[in-house]
Amino acid sequence: MAVSKSDFLNYTRCPRFVALAELRKEKLDADLSYAEYQEQERLEQIQEILGNMFEDETYEHDLTQKVNAQLEALMPFYKQVEIEAGGLANKYFGGKSKYAAATKNQECFEFNQKGIKYVCYVDIYNENKQGINIIEVKATTSNKYLKLLGSFPKKEKYPIFYFNVDKNTYFLKDEIDYPLNQEMPDEVFAKNKAKLFDRYTDVGKYVYDLAVQRYIIEGEYRSSGNAAALENIHYYLAILNHEYVFDGSYIDGVADYKKDAAGHELIVFIDLTKVTAEYQKIIAEDEARLEKYIFALDGSPVPMGIWCERKKMRECPFLAPICGKDIPAKNSALNYLNNGFGFKNEDNERLKGLDLINHGYLEMLDIPEEWITNPKHHIQRDAVRFGKEYIDKEKIAAGLSLIEYPIYHLDFETMPCPLPRFRGEKPYMQSPFEFSLHIETEPGKCDKLKDNYIFLAKTNTEDEREELVKKLIEYIDGDKGTLFAQNVSFEKGRIKELAAIFPEYRERLMKIYDRGFDLMWLVNTNAKLYEELGFDKKRSALPNYYHKDLSGSYSIKKTLPVFSDLSYANLEVKNGTEAIVAYANYNKMTKEEYQLMYQALIEYCRQDTWAMVVILEALRHICQ
């Protein structure tokens, strides 16, 4: 049989995956075509883009595991990243580069072991006078790697990577002539570097991917008796530069991603030659396990864990329907608020995440009472046990008293595109294409349609952000009232970015920015705010409201049904992911489809701000 790199990543998750993938005799005997490999890569790339689009936990979103024709609208962005990376590989490495966008096929490597053929195609195969450079392109950003920081106690923090401007490449500081011991102790550096060797971290998963590729490449060279050539092969990641700022230049309708004003390239490289060499022992062990799994085809249940990648874009496809089918949809043991550290049992052993499920603690109430030490968790348990709302009317009333009218209920829809599309944008910057605004002039005085103002871009190719800004400052008086939003920091972040891009409107935008208030401060809490209002520290930290139907989440999709009979279920566009995909698909629609989807986007965004009006009114009634 043929095992692709994607197969390798999936089959080595756990002993059960291979069997659940239903590998039958015909597949065991089958080869893998280039087209089939590309299809696997396409699905991986869509997941990668979506995962990076929604990595910001402050952004209200609904991740989707559904990969369909609509999501194909995102694929040109990935292809363009590959093209830009290929061009920069030629520029900085010299020689000749082979990559899919420039040639019919990518460079292929394969070798056979115990009847299994391991296959990989290289994103960029570069050959120059110094040797061969294997470059894996990923639509992620450099800031993830630059967040690996170290220092001496109470001293300035430094990244573990050094950037060589002339080579447009990051190198680990322990691999070059660098005074590392002036910035951090060796053990601090080693602790950060170790994260590169964890395949389930945001940084480690891409390194593991490249290391598997190296394993297959080296397998071919060794099996062909050409092991000596391995000394001249180097391995790199090509990723988006989070510091790059697009100047908005286009040539014949195509974005010109030349160096920005600060000298940044759109793509940077990370030299992982030595790291992937260290990785080879781990990959060899994983390959031995993979062989065992393939020949055993044992589908017996196994413990769940980090390898399931629960609630991530690469979540195991068998988690929800098979392995985790007994996890309750509501009020499971995983739904306790802010519970990343889990619980300590009688033996002082800490159980968290899927370990709780593995040990049979499925329901929220399955957790023993004596394990509960967080007052928030007691509130949740009581809400589930007795079916009674938890309400702190005094805190809600105190929060309501701070709101100045008119209230501007605001919600942005944004496109966090991998490639910046318009002037002043960076990779994955949240670029607003729509807003809904409900204006409430006094308590309860707001009509769903008459007091609603919508801006929605008519195209996804023309820069309509200035028109959006003009409408925003036309509707919102920055000298009075309250900017009100669910997770107001997101809306404030977009306003601040727009103020920087359009300085002529900065003063008026920043006045709006300064008047922000968050709906969640009323429903959940804002400990600092309530302490300033005179509540003690313990009470300030507790939620103001909790209902069992929230199931550990204060997302607007959960709070709205609790406070009203409204729902998103009957909308054509139901969540943030679908809104982005609809906007990205503008150019692929017929005139009739476009008109229907344009209205659907209006209805969805209007629902978000109307939901805030409804919830706020419900909170007022609660306090009466």
**Which one of 257, 274, 296 terminates a domain?**
296
Tell me the two tokens of residue 19: 């069997």
pLDDT reading at 6 higher than 60: yes
Convert the pLDDT of each residue in 277-307 to its tens digit. Answer: 999 999 999 999 999 999 999 999 999 999 9
| Residue 568, domain member (yes or no) | yes
Last residue of a domain, one of 267, 296, 325: 296
Residue 177 lies in a domain: yes
- Out of 276, 296, 316, a domain closes at 296
Residue 614 belongs to what H/E stretch? Answer: helix 591-623
pLDDT value at 566 more than 80: yes
pTM value is: 0.92
**Tens digits of residue pLDDT in 251-283:** 999 999 999 999 999 999 999 999 999 999 999
Comparing 42 with 613, which gets the higher pLDDT? 613
362 inside domain: no
Q: Is the pLDDT of residue 351 over 90?
A: yes
Sequence-distant (≥ 6) Cβ neighbours of residue 611 within 8 angstroms: 486, 556, 559, 560, 564, 566
Q: Does residue 409 sit in the same domain as residue 266?
A: no
* 471 Rama class: left (phi>0) / alpha (psi -120 to 50) / beta: alpha
Q: What is the pLDDT of residue 71?
A: 64
DSSP 565: S
CA distance 51 to 64: 10
At 72, is the pLDDT very low, low, confident or very high (cuts 50, 70, 90)? Answer: confident
Position 67 scores a pLDDT of: 45
273 and 404 both lie in a single domain? no
pLDDT (average), residues 312-334: 94
What number of CA atoms fall less than 13 Å from residue 288's CA on the CB side? 6
Of 431 and 57, more confident: 431
Q: Give the span between the Cα atoms of 595 and 572, in whole angstroms.
A: 13
> Domain count of the chain?
2
Please give the residue that has the higher pLDDT: either 368 or 39. 368
Q: Rounded to whole angstroms, how far apart are CA atoms 597 and 594?
A: 5
379 belongs to a structural domain: no
Confidence of residue 27 (pLDDT cuts 50, 70, 90): low
pLDDT in tens, 475-485: 999 999 999 99
Strand, helix or coil at 275?
helix
- The two tokens of residue 374 are 């967080």
Domain assignment of residue 142, given as a range: 2-296
Do 278 and 398 reside in the same domain of the chain? no
Q: Is the pLDDT of residue 492 over 80?
A: yes
Residues 276 and 417 in one domain: no
Residues 397, 292 share a domain:
no
Does residue 591 register a pLDDT over 50? yes
Is residue 351 one of the residues assigned to a domain? no
State the residue for tokens 């392995």. Answer: 323
Instruction: Please give the average per-residue pLDDT across 327-353, as a whole number.
Output: 94
pLDDT at 462 over 70: yes
Half-sphere exposure of 118 (CA within 13 A, CB side): 25
Of the ranges 291-300, 338-347, 522-531, the best mean pLDDT one: 522-531
In a domain, 352, yes or no: no
Q: For residues 538 and 546, what is the distance between their CA atoms, to the nearest angstrom?
A: 16
The verdict on 482 and 616 lying in the same domain is yes
Domain membership of residue 542 (yes or no) is yes
| Axis crossing angle, helix 393-400 with helix 591-623, rounded to the nearest 10 | 120
Q: Which ranges of 54-178 would DSSP assign to H, the alpha helix?
A: 75-93, 143-146
Flag whether 319 is in a domain: no
Among 264, 64, 41, residue whose Cα is nearest residue 139: 41
- In this structure, the answer to whether residues 402 and 275 fall within a common structural domain is no
* Residue 404 or 576, more confident: 404
For the sheet with 516-518, list strands across it: 452-456, 430-440, 407-416, 482-485, 516-518
Tokens read off for 250 = 């286009």
CA 138/CA 587 separation, integer angstroms: 26
Claim to verify: residue 220 and residue 105 sit in the same structural domain: yes
CB atoms within 10 A of CB 210: 24
The reply to whether 467 and 602 lie within a common domain is yes
Residues 407 and 261 in one domain: no
CATH of the domain at 428: 3.30.420
Calculate Rg over the CA atoms of the chain: 27
